[in-house]
Chains A and B, each alone.
Chain A
Amino acid sequence: MEVRRVLIVDDEAAFTSLVKLNLEKTGRFTVCEVNNPTKALVAAREFKPDITLLDVIMPGQDGGQVLAELRAAEFVDLPVIFLTATLTQRGLHERDDQIDGVPFIAKPVEPKKLINRINEVLANS
């Protein structure tokens, strides 16, 4: 089975390292952690991810700005999932789990649910 490359951009280092542990334990992912959003583009160019998990509220640069930077560079079609602590699934419409067309997951999230969502987005891309 192909190992998918996941870039996670989140200022919570403890969170990103645990995401990395959970994802890599399945043997189906390899994860690159970025805790400083201003370094996301450089890391993406180096790591060449299949998918990016992007925190929304971060100091320095928010998730939206990081995404705009990636899209303006060579990552026009890179699948992205927003991670956010300030929205609830119920807060948006039941059938709508996207922010401005970008899929999102509300934190906290069970590892299994996160993996399912990554697989779902990768399958649709």
Chain B
Amino acid sequence: MEVQTTIRRLCCNLASGFQNTNLPWMLNGPNCMAATLLNALPDQFYVKDLQSRFVFVNTTTATYLKKTPPEIVGKTDIDFFPSSLASQFLAEEKLLLISGQPVINREDWWQDANGNTHWELTTKVALSDETGAIIGLLGTNRDITDRRTAQTQLQKLNIDLARSQVELLAAYDHLKQTQAQLIQAEKLESIGRLAAGIAHEVRNPLATLLMGLGFLKGSLPAQQPLTGTVLNDMRDAVHRADAIICELLDFSSPRQLDLTDEAVSVLAERALVLVRHELGHRRIEIMRKFTPDLPVQRVDRIRIEQVFVNLLINAIHAMPAGGQLTVRTGQNQTGAVMAEVCDTGPGIAPELLKKVFEPFFTTKKVGAGSGMGLAMAKTIMTQHGGDLTLTNQSEGGVCARIIFNNKKEADHGS
């Protein structure tokens, strides 16, 4: 048994490393100290002959295979592993025994009869005699199933963590958005409370003024045209003050929507008629780009006309020296009906774009606008389940886009 001789020599060679340690007893007995040492290893250690039969197995290997060393020695992997796996091991060992090419730290896995997966770190090297001829192989396997399981779990946890992070960020964004909406809602509620109080306290004196002006105008002798003009100016001022409060009231207490089926292009056209007087002498060219046969929308006609009027007036005021006013209707990529009112004015400074929907925000001079138009238009669109957005166009000017809620339309149609 050349292999056994070689093993014993190998063991003694290993043991010779301990000669200087004053532990001669370790070399005594039929099992040399090296065999004791190998049995104490936490890793599997085995020696096989040229037919891949086990010649020596340490205790860890025996425990792993749930056998005693004598039950293992003389047998091959075929007796312990699933046949396909054992064949693979044998083929690989055959190659090693011919070529001497070692297998170093390779991670293998296999499944036992119970379906449990085992991971091993395998190293196999050729065993040679004094002449250099290969007489067998030495192998060591480390059970890394726990490490691999932990690794897999860690990977899974990492994926979960990344997902949680994404969710957390989304939740944070949502929270920020909700907070902004809450602040806005609270602002609007305050304005609502304020509006009713202001209306009562301001419009009553305005009523007295208007009645007084009416009386004075009627009592005026015909030869005092200047006084008449003064009274008219005063009357206009009362109406202007009243108009601001009316807008505030309408904004703060939006009435219930009176929904009917309407064609958006028709509403846009009606609004264009309503703002005719605003065009005045301005050299503004109106471009109508209406898409025919759009699905009808279930909307409050008067409120949507009001949205168009507010957007058109803003666009007209943005072009005092003239320009092009484009009114477009159509559908976006999701099929939602939308409309755009675009001007060729100077556009809106980017830092102001966020503020344009705030009540009373205006860039117009005193008396030219209350700053309620866009706030109200946005509120009306939100009430309809749609939206209003404002963007600066790359070619200059502002484009206001309203989108209707196509879901509502679909529900209505079904």
Contact = CB atoms under 8 A, between A and B. Distances in A.
A15 B211 contact: yes
Interface stretch (B31-39, B168-176, B212-220, B223-231): B212-220
Interface in B243-266: 246, 249-250, 253, 255, 258
Contact of A86 (B200, B218, B219, B258): B200
Contacts of A25: 215, 218-219
A40 B310 CA distance: 43
A107 B199 CA distance: 9
Contact of A21 (B202, B215, B238, B253): B215
Contact of B214 (A85, A90, A107, A112): A112
A19 B208 CA distance: 8
Given A57-B200, A108-B206, A91 B212 contact: no
A27 interface: no
A90 B212 contact: no
Given A86-B199, A88-B249, A107-B207, A18 B302 contact: no
B215 A108 contact: no
B154 to A, nearest CB: 64
Contact of B208 (A12, A94, A110): A12
Contact of A15 (B204, B218, B249, B258): B204
Interface residues of A, number: 26
Chain B interface extent, by class: 20 to 34
Interface string A71-92: 0000000000001011110111
A64 interface: no
Given A18-B215, A110-B214, A85 B246 contact: no
A78 to B, nearest CB: 23
A107 to B, nearest CB: 4
A18 B212 contact: yes
B242 interface: yes
A42 interface: no
A108 B238 contact: yes
A86 B215 contact: no
Given A22-B214, A111-B214, A90 B208 contact: no
Interface string A102-117: 0000111111100000
Q: Which residue among B200, B208, B255, B302 has the maximum number of chain A CB atoms within 10 Å of its CB?
A: B208
Contacts of B206: 107-108
B207 A22 contact: no
Contact of A91 (B207, B215, B255, B258): B255
Contacts of B203: 85-86, 106-108
Nearest to B300: A93
A14 interface: yes
A19 B358 CA distance: 38
B65 interface: no
Contacts of B133: none
B254 to A, nearest CB: 9
A29 to B, nearest CB: 14
A91 B245 CA distance: 12
B234 interface: no
A57 B202 CA distance: 13
B294 interface: no
B163 to A, nearest CB: 50
Nearest to A115: B214
Interface of A: 12, 14-15, 18-19, 21-22, 25, 57, 83, 85-88, 90-94, 106-112
Interface of B: 196, 199-200, 202-204, 206-212, 214-215, 218-219, 238, 242, 246, 249-250, 253, 255, 258, 302
Shortest 7 CB-CB distances between A and B: which pairs?
A85-B203, A18-B211, A111-B214, A107-B207, A108-B207, A108-B210, A108-B206
Given A22-B215, A107-B206, A108-B203, 5 more contacts: A85-B199, A86-B200, A106-B246, A107-B207, A111-B210
